[in-house]
Amino acid sequence: MRYLYLMWSFMLAIFLFHGIRVWSLMTYSIAAFAALILVFAVSVFLRKAWGNFGSRACLLPILLLLVVQTAGRIFFVIHNRSLEGPDGQGAPLVFLVVMFFEQLIFIPGLVFFIWLWKNRAQRISGASQAE
């Protein structure tokens, strides 16, 4: 699982860096966030104690953003009963493709967040049993 998490983190960092076209204050913060994701992913891979908390802290804002985005898309489809708006303007294929790529980030990220949380709980219970 550590290998998959490391590969997913590199994919996410490449995705974040690829989106940078013009360097500005916002893009520097995105680059710093991508670097933090990589640092914490490598620390989880090397089984450092501080990597688990840092990785969860980096994953949480991404997951919250994608939960809101996914919920908004689901409510849009329920409200309009199609992938187009009420005026008929829109591209259903683009809607599906974008949602597919969002889910490629969201679903593994959620699995890794749960894995990191369970790993944290095991470390705490293992430490308290050792005492």
**Residue 76 · residue 84 · CB < 8 Å:** no
Count of domains forming the chain: 1
Query: Is residue 32 over pLDDT 70?
Result: yes
Query: Is residue 124 over pLDDT 60?
Result: no
Q: pLDDT band at 22, cuts 50/70/90?
A: low
Higher-scoring residue by pLDDT: 12, 25: 12
Name the pTM for this structure: 0.71
Position of tokens 């360097």?
Answer: 23
Q: How far is CA 105 from the centre of its chain?
A: 5
What's the full length of the chain, in residues? 131
pLDDT > 90 in the chain, percent = 0
Question: Which residues, including other chains, have CB under 8 Å from residue 20's CB and lie 6 or more apart?
Answer: 27, 30, 31
| Confidence at residue 122, expressed as pLDDT on a 0 to 100 scale | 62
**Residue 104 belongs to domain spanning:** 2-130
| Confidence at residue 84, expressed as pLDDT on a 0 to 100 scale | 76
CA distance 53 to 103: 23
Query: Is residue 71 over pLDDT 70?
Result: yes
Q: pLDDT band at 23, cuts 50/70/90?
A: low
Q: pLDDT band at 131, cuts 50/70/90?
A: very low
